[in-house]
Structure 1
Amino acid sequence: MRVSTKSDYALRALIEMAGRADATPVSADELGRRQDIPSGFLQAILADLRRAGIVVSQRGQSGGWRLAKDADTVSVADVIRAVDGPLVSVYGLRPEAVTYKDSAEVLQHVWIAARRSLRDVFEEVSIQQLADGDLPAAVTDRTADEDAWQPH
């Protein structure tokens, strides 16, 4: 799986929102400055997150963007799906929709297993956990293995 720039930026913006002690709206300009996210790109990302019901915008002098839900109820998977679509796709199709012939049918099982593995991490980590820097043990255990940090 390749994490897109769009997903990375979306998560970084949401971590900034969730980390605000007073939960007041934050401008897109401030989010962009704090996380080095280009303004035009960030506006498009925020629009995707708004359509998904993850953020809301507030107009006016004290306006800006804020989370529409509690940060502990929004998972990394929710964010990736909102800005990029399904966690795993095979030439644009969900793994369960892909068909193969004969000996290649086994590939579908690999794609389904890969999606399950991604869900095991992405659905377990909330925006609040990211903002707090307090990841679930299931995630930190996976990074404790030195091999996890090595490129292959």
Structure 2
Amino acid sequence: MKIATKTRYAMRVMIDLAARVDEGCVPLKDVADRQGISKKYLEQVVSPLVSSGLLNVTRGHRGGYKLTRTPSEITCADIVSATENGLELLDCLSGDITCERESFCISQDIWGGLERAMTDYLKSITLQDILDREEEDGLKLQRRILGEEA
């Protein structure tokens, strides 16, 4: 099981924008330059984030992208769900389709448990949590570089 490249890039874009939440609209070109990803590809990456209501886009001079909520209100689950079209691991777990084996499927509980654990984990991490962790890790690294005790 792999997370799609677009989902990984979407996470990077959202973290980048969360770190610049006070700047207002951030041009996608600036994000692309910082992240080392082509602007053209990032346009595809941000599309589902806009459609799902996680990002606002403003066109024109001084335009760009910004979060629709604070970093503490956007979870990793929100981002993955927007880019992966939901968090369901299997169609039979979504409840949208019926499976002829549903009443006696012995593996459904395993996949359902994995899905719940993954969803709960992704819901437990906000963009703010990531920024806070990054700041803490950066301070630890800075102390090591300077030869100070952590």
- On whether the aligned pair clears a TM of 0.5, the verdict is yes
Which residue of structure 2 aligns with residue 139 of structure 1? none
Checking the alignment, whether the CA contact within 8 Å between 2:21 and 2:67 is kept in structure 1 is no
Q: Which runs of 4+ in 1 moved over 6 A?
A: none
Partner of 1:22: helix, strand, or coil? helix
Partner of 2:66: helix, strand, or coil? strand
Indicate the structure (1 or 2) with the bigger Cα radius of gyration: 2
One-letter amino acid matched to 1:48? P
Indicate whether 1:130 and 2:130 are aligned.
yes
Partners of 1:75 and 1:7 lie apart in 2 by 13
Extract unaligned runs of 5+ from structure 1: 135-152
Partner of 2:106: helix, strand, or coil? helix
Pick which of 61-70 and 14-23 moved more.
Answer: 14-23
Checking the alignment, whether the CA contact within 8 Å between 1:75 and 1:122 is kept in structure 2 is yes
The superposition leaves residues 95-144 of structure 1 with CA deviations (integer Å, 9 ceiling, x where unpaired) of 1546353996111111110111101210010112112226xxxxxxxxxx
Which residue of structure 1 aligns with residue 142 of structure 2? none
Equivalent residue runs for 1:57-68 within 5 Å: 57-68=57-68
Extract unaligned runs of 5+ from structure 2: 135-150
Partners of 1:124 and 1:77 lie apart in 2 by 8
Partner of 1:60: helix, strand, or coil? coil
Which residue of structure 2 aligns with residue 78 of structure 1? 78
Which residue of structure 2 aligns with residue 95 of structure 1? 93
Q: CA deviation at 1:9?
A: 0.4
Question: What is the TM-score when the length of structure 2 is the normalising length?
Answer: 0.78
CA RMSD of aligned residues (A): 2.1
Partners of 1:100 and 1:116 lie apart in 2 by 23
Q: CA deviation at 1:19?
A: 0.4
Indicate whether 1:17 and 2:22 are aligned.
no
One-letter amino acid matched to 2:39? S
One-letter amino acid matched to 2:60? G
Pick which of 93-102 and 120-129 moved more.
Answer: 93-102
Partner of 1:65: helix, strand, or coil? strand
The superposition leaves residues 25-48 of structure 1 with CA deviations (integer Å, 9 ceiling, x where unpaired) of 111111111112222221012111
The total of aligned residue pairs comes to 132
Partners of 2:101 and 2:12 lie apart in 1 by 42
Higher share in helix? 2
Could you tell me the percent identity over the aligned residues? 25
Checking the alignment, whether the CA contact within 8 Å between 1:26 and 1:63 is kept in structure 2 is yes
One-letter amino acid matched to 1:31? V
Indicate whether 1:39 and 2:22 are aligned.
no
